[in-house]
Amino acid sequence: MLVCMTFSIVIYQVASNEVGIRLERLQSTLQRSNRLNQSPTQLIVSEIRADELDKAASNLSIELLYINLIMLFVGGFGSYYFARRSLLPIEKAHDAQSRFTSDASHELRTPLAVMKTELEVALRDDTATKESLKQVLSSNLEEVDKLTKLSQMLLSLSQLDSVKLKLCSVNLTKITHDAIKNFNQPKNRIKLTSKGQQMVYGNETALADLVKVLIDNALQYSPKKSSILINVSKQDQSIKFEITNSGTGISPDKLPFIFDRFYRADLSRTDGSHNGYGLGLALAKNITELHNGSLTASSILNGDTTFKLILPQYSKDLIKSN
């Protein structure tokens, strides 16, 4: 508004001077053409000049006033609208960060409290045997392993928020096969189906972590003797990775939130038989988005749950475009 007012004053001065100059030229022309009656004509022209100059200045002032009022309302409402739009994602990010900090503190505090309680009990027990102390240390070691796993997941998530991955040709079939071996499951527990070697354009380390998360999630939420089916195939100009497991399933009202950090659809965060912090799927989603892919889930209560991952197929044209 200050800039608009400044320009209005400048425009007013320039326009007033221009009108004055033109009226003076008109007056000079009329005087030259009426030399015989110079005095009366000069008086009339001077009055006309002064009157026209006043009218021009008045009209110009009113027009500039209207323009400034319009700019005030349009600029005010426009600024408010765009400011709200600009601040909305910042507000969401701030809220998400606050929730994330609160949830992380909660998850870190629980195992530390367990360790502290067990150690205090052991120290106060004068009759504690070597075997009982070993059990306490063993229990504390389990909690340390949980904290280590949680810290690694948090570190991975924070790095993915700012890192730019180096992409190249990656054999998704081979990565999946290697990941299955690392879980040391009984033979035919995890069944992989793939037509040839499916090549994707991505980062090998990140995609290996992504596949491990999806397999680990399927193992955690399915009966021990049930089969887990993985299918890697081509879909149009992309590669599809699909993993299906049976179990209790996920209810439709909870399905949209399973990729949120620290969210667990079936149990409270720290209770229950499933070991996890609700970070795996959030990590998988982040990795997928960094690869310009998509990760979706579908589930039937007391039935099958399927995660479908779509990644760009490796091609020379894709490399040139990137």
pLDDT of 49-97, one tens digit each?
677 677 777 777 787 788 888 888 888 888 899 998 899 888 877 776 7
Task: Inform me whether the pLDDT recorded for 160 exceeds 80.
Answer: no
- Per-residue model confidence (pLDDT) at position 272: 39
State mean pLDDT over 131-152: 84
Q: In this predicted model, which residue has the larger pLDDT, 300 or 314?
A: 300
Amino acid at the residue 264: R
pLDDT of 202-244, one tens digit each?
988 889 989 999 999 999 889 988 999 999 999 888 999 999 9
Task: Inform me whether the pLDDT recorded for 107 exceeds 80.
Answer: no
State mean pLDDT over 300-313: 93
Spatial contact of 168 and 204, defined as CB atoms under 8 Å apart:
yes
pLDDT of 238-282, one tens digit each?
999 999 999 888 888 888 888 887 676 554 333 334 555 667 888
- Per-residue model confidence (pLDDT) at position 267: 46
Mean pLDDT, all residues of the chain = 80
| HEC profile of the chain | CHHHHHHHHHHHHHHHHHHHHHHHHHHHHHHHHCCCCHHHHHHHHHHHHHHHHHHHHHHHHHHHHHHHHHHHHHHHHHHHHHHHHHHHHHHHHHHHHHHHHHHHHHHHHHHHHHHHHHHHHHHHCCCCCHHHHHHHHHHHHHHHHHHHHHHHHHHHHHHHCCCCCCCEEEEHHHHHHHHHHHCCCCCCCEEEEECCCCEEEECHHHHHHHHHHHHHHHHHCCCCCCCEEEEEEEECCEEEEEEEEECCCCCCCCHHHCCCCCCCCCCCCCCCCCCCCCCHHHHHHHHHHHCCCEEEEEECCCCEEEEEEEEEECCHHHHHHC
pLDDT of 186-195, one tens digit each?
888 999 999 8
- Per-residue model confidence (pLDDT) at position 246: 92
Q: In this predicted model, which residue has the larger pLDDT, 27 or 152?
A: 152
- Per-residue model confidence (pLDDT) at position 11: 80
- Per-residue model confidence (pLDDT) at position 299: 93
- Per-residue model confidence (pLDDT) at position 157: 66
Task: Inform me whether the pLDDT recorded for 320 exceeds 60.
Answer: no
- Per-residue model confidence (pLDDT) at position 95: 76
Determine if residue 247 is left, alpha or beta; phi over 0 gives left, psi from -120 to 50 gives alpha, anything else beta: left
For domain 168-321, is the CATH number 3.30.565.10?
yes
pLDDT of 4-39, one tens digit each?
777 778 787 777 776 777 667 666 666 666 654 545
What is the CATH architecture assignment of 98-160? Orthogonal Bundle (1.10)
Task: Inform me whether the pLDDT recorded for 138 exceeds 80.
Answer: yes
- Per-residue model confidence (pLDDT) at position 269: 35
pLDDT of 278-303, one tens digit each?
678 888 898 898 899 999 999 998 89
**Burial call 172-184: b when 16+ CB within 10 Å, e when fewer:** bbbbbeebbeeee
- Per-residue model confidence (pLDDT) at position 218: 93
